[in-house]
Structure 1
Amino acid sequence: MVVTGHFIDSDWVLQKRVLNFCNVPPPHTGVIIADALSKCFIDWGIENKVSSITVDNASYNDCKIGQLGSVIDVVREGIKYLNNSESRILEFAKIKKQLQLPSRKLILDCPTRWNSTYLMLDSGLEFKDVFPRYADIDPGFHYVPTDFEWMKVEEVCKFLGIFHEITDMISGSEYPTANIFLVELYRIKELLNEKALDPFEHIRAMVGSMSVKFDKYWGESNVLLSLGAILDPRYKMFLINHVFSVIYGEDAAPRFIAEIRDILYELYNEYVDCHVVSHSEQQQRQVVKRRQNESSTSSSKKQKMTAPAILTGKEKFHMHVSEIDRAPPEKSDLDVYLEESRYACDAKANLDVFGWWKGERLRFPILSRMAADILSVPVTTVASESTFSAGGRVIDDRRASMSVETVQMLLCGNDWIRSLHGLKNKSRESLDVAESITFEEVELPESFND
Structure 2
Amino acid sequence: MGTNWMNGDHLHVRCMTYIINLFIQDSLKESFMSIERVRHAVRYVRQSPARLKRFQKSCDDEQLSYKKSFCLDIPTRWNSTYLMLSGAVEFKNAFTNYASREIVLRHYLENSYIEVGVTSSDLLSSDWVQVKRITKFLKFVYLLTLKISGSLYVTSNIHFLEICVVAVYLNQLIASEDTDLSNMERKMKEKFDKYWGSQVSAKGTGPLDSLIQDLQKSKALNRGVDSRTELDKYFGEETEDDTKEFKILLWWKMNATRFSTLSKMACDVLAVPVSSVAFESAFST
The answer to whether the aligner puts 1:363 opposite 2:276 as a matched pair is: no
- Out of 212, 216, 223, the residue aligned to residue 265 of structure 1 is 212
Task: Check if 1:105 corresponds to 2:69.
Answer: yes
Quick one: percent identity of the two aligned structures? 29
Q: Which of residues 151, 167, 175 in structure 1 aligns to 2:153?
A: 175
Amino acid at match of 1:357: W
- Unpaired stretches in structure 2, ≥5 consecutive residues: 110-121
Aligned twin of 2:51: 88
Note if contact 2:42-2:72 (Cα within 8 Å) is conserved in structure 1.
yes
- Identify which of 212, 225, 229 aligns with 2:190: 212
> Is 1:375 paired with 2:270?
yes
How far residue 334 of structure 1 moved from its aligned partner, in angstroms, is 2.5
Corresponding residue number in structure 2 for 1:331: 228
Cα 1:268–1:173, aligned 2, differ >3 Å: closer, same or farther? farther
Q: Shift in Å at residue 158 of structure 1?
A: 3.4
Larger Rg: 1
1:343 to 231, 237, 240: 240
Q: Any idea what the Cα deviations from partners look like across 1:27-69, whole Å, max 9, x if unmatched?
A: xxxxxxxxxxxxxxxxxxxxx99965666659x9582211213
Equivalent residues of 2:79, 2:283 under 8 A apart: no
- Go from structure 1 to structure 2 and tell me whether the alpha carbon gap of 1:184 and 1:438 turns closer, same or farther (over 3 Å shift): closer
Q: Are 1:66 and 2:13 counterparts?
A: no
Q: Distance in 2 between matches of 1:194 and 1:131?
A: 31
Partner of 1:63, secondary structure, is helix
Task: Report the alpha carbon displacement of residue 154 of structure 1 after superposing the two structures with TM.
Answer: 2.5
CA distance in 2, matches of 1:374, 1:135: 55
Q: Is the 8 A contact 2:149 2:282 kept in 1?
A: no
Q: Which amino acid in structure 2 is aligned with residue 211 of structure 1? A: K
Q: Any residues of structure 2 matched to 1:385-424 within 5 Å, and which? A: 385-386=278-279, 389=280
Cα distance between partner residues in 1 of 2:264 and 2:72: 47
Question: What are the within-5 Å matches in structure 2 for residues 87-236 of structure 1?
Answer: 87-89=50-52, 91-93=54-56, 95-96=58-59, 99-101=63-65, 103-112=67-76, 114-135=78-99, 138-142=102-106, 145-171=123-149, 174-196=152-174, 198=176, 200=178, 202-219=180-197, 222-223=198-199
Distance 1:256 1:350 in 2: 39
Q: 1:129 is paired with a residue of what secondary structure?
A: helix
The AA in structure 2 aligned to 1:358 is K
Report the alpha carbon displacement of residue 356 of structure 1 after superposing the two structures with TM.
1.9
Deviation at 1:126, TM superposition (A): 0.8
**How far is 1:353 from its partner?**
1.7
TM-superposed CA distance for 1:328, in Å, is 7.0
Alpha-carbon shift at residue 181 of structure 1 (Å)? 4.2
How many positions carry a matched residue from both structures?
A: 258
Residues 374-421 of structure 1: per-residue CA shift (max 9 Å, x gap):
10011212xx413xx3xxxxxxxxxxxxxxxxxxxxxxxxxxxxxxxx
**1:259 shift after superposition:** 4.5
Residue by residue over 1:211-231, the C-alpha shift from the partner in whole angstroms, topping out at 9 and shown as x without a partner, is 332232234xx54xxxxxxxx
CA contact (8 A) 1:111 1:117 kept: yes
Partner of 2:115: none
**CA distance change for structure 1 residues 439 and 90 in 2, over 3 Å: closer, same or farther?**
closer
Give the aligned residue type for 1:106.
F
Give, as a single letter, the amino acid of the residue that structure 2 aligns with 1:212: E
8 Å contact from structure 1 (residues 110, 116) kept in 2: yes
Gaps of 5+ in 1: 1-47, 224-252, 277-324, 390-436, 442-450
Deviation of the 1:79 alpha carbon: 1.5
Contact 2:78 2:283 in 1 (8 A): no
Q: Distance in 1 between matches of 2:208 and 2:225?
A: 21
**Offset at residue 354 of structure 1 (A):** 1.6
Report the CA distance shift for 1:371/1:66 in structure 2 as closer, same or farther (over 3 A).
Answer: same
Q: 1:79 to 1:369 in 2, by over 3 A?
A: same
Change in CA separation of 1:83 and 1:328 when aligned onto 2, cut-off 3 Å: farther
Partner amino acid, structure 2, of 1:342: T
Q: What displacement does 1:363 show?
A: 2.9
Contact conserved, 1:385 with 1:439, CA < 8 A, in 2? no
Aligned partners of 1:107 and 1:119 also within 8 Å: yes
Length-normalised TM-score, structure 1: 0.46
Tell whether the 8 Å contact from 1:83 to 1:89 is kept in structure 2 after alignment.
yes
CA contact (8 A) 1:268 1:367 kept: no
RMSD of equivalent CA atoms: 4.2
Moved more, 117-126 or 100-109: 100-109
Q: Which has the higher contact order (CA 8 A, sep 6+)?
A: 2
Question: What secondary structure sits across from 1:379 in the alignment?
Answer: coil
CA deviation vs aligned residue, 1:347-367 (integer Å, no higher than 9, x gap): xx2532222222222333332
